[in-house]
Each structure stands twice: as structure tokens, then as C-alpha cells.
Amino acid sequence: MKLLMVRSLVAGLLVMAGNLLAQQAEPMPKPTAEHQWLERLSGEWSTDAECKMGPDQPEVQCIGSLSSRMVGGFWLLLEMKSEIAGHTMTGIQTIGFDVGKDKFVGTWIDSSSSFMWKYEGSLDKDKTKLTLEAEGPNFFKEGETATFRDTYEFKSDDEFAMKSQMQGEDGRWITFMTGTATRRN
């Protein structure tokens, strides 16, 4: 009988403690306006871009696709497939907004390298262009790093421009990719 009373008392205390914790729990976070901005990039897109493989190299046409979706309202998961000079490349990008840092953050991996890019960035004042920056392998000096900048700029709800740049030793930005994504659906 005593054992039954002790078990009942312990069970009652556990229920009360659970109720107190549930009442004190923080509400689940909600996506912000910045997260909602990322949702504009969701969908199926056709891409057409020009890339330069080096400063004295001719531009190469890159035709491909982007497929992207939101994860939980907080993260954009984007998969890019492209044909570059007869080679197929696949890239995966994540972009979210870190409320604590007050910055967009993200990663990029692709089938052409073992390096994982880690981005931080912001929207312009008109909220049409997202600029992300990262440190990565310098294309021109093996073993060194450089600052890179990628931008996504909406021209309409169904089209955005893309640009990738690397900062040279002189501080100027070298554009190595420009293109357009057009919504398929």
C-alpha cells in the first residue's frame, strides 16, 4: 500500500512539473519578413548564364535549372544543375536568416570541389537584391583565400539576375558569372 501511495505521489509531482514547464515554455519562433523574402526564390527556374574561367579566358555559356523550396518557413534549400563547357555541375545551397546575427546566412557545396562555402549577407534598402559574401579558395593563387560575393536581384516575381564576383588583391571586384533565372512554374 505504501508503495502504491509513493508511486501515486511521484506521478502527481511529475504531472505538476510538466504542466509548469509547459506554461513557462517559450512560444515557437515564427518566420520573419526576411524569411518570407527568401520564399520568393522557391520554385522551378530555368537558368542562362555566362561564366569566365579566368581573366584572359572567353565567356562560356552555362544553361541549367534551379529547383528550390522552403524548409519549415526558415530555410531555402536550392539545387542547381548546369552544363558548363560540356561538364555537368550540381550545387546545393541553403539560405536562411539568423535573427540573432540580423544577417542572412547560408552554405554552398557543389560537385566541382570539396570546399563548403559559408555565407553571410543582407538585403538592399529596396529589398530587391540579396548580397551574400564568403571566404573561399582564391581562383588565381593556389593555397590562398579571397572574399567572394554572390547576388540575387529580382527583376520581377518570375525573373531574377545572378552575379558572382571575387575580390582582387587591389580591392576591386572581378565578375566571373552573370546570369538570369526565369520561373518555369
Beta strands 43-52 and 145-156, pairing class: unpaired
Q: What is the distance between the alpha carbons of residues 132 and 107, in angstroms, rounded to a whole number? A: 10
Query: What one-letter code names the amino acid at 184?
Result: R
Average pLDDT over residues 68-77: 97
C-alpha cell at 125: 534598402
Please say if the pLDDT value at position 62 is more than 60. yes
d(Cα 112, Cα 37) in Å, to the nearest integer?
A: 29
Domain ranges of the chain: 33-183
For the 33-183 domain, the top CATH level (class) is mainly beta
Note the maximum CA span of the chain.
89
pLDDT at 183 over 60: yes
For the question of whether the overall pTM of this predicted structure is more than 0.85, the answer is no
Tens of pLDDT, residues 118-176 = 999 999 999 999 999 999 999 888 999 999 999 999 999 999 999 999 999 999 999 99
Has residue 9 got a pLDDT over 60? no
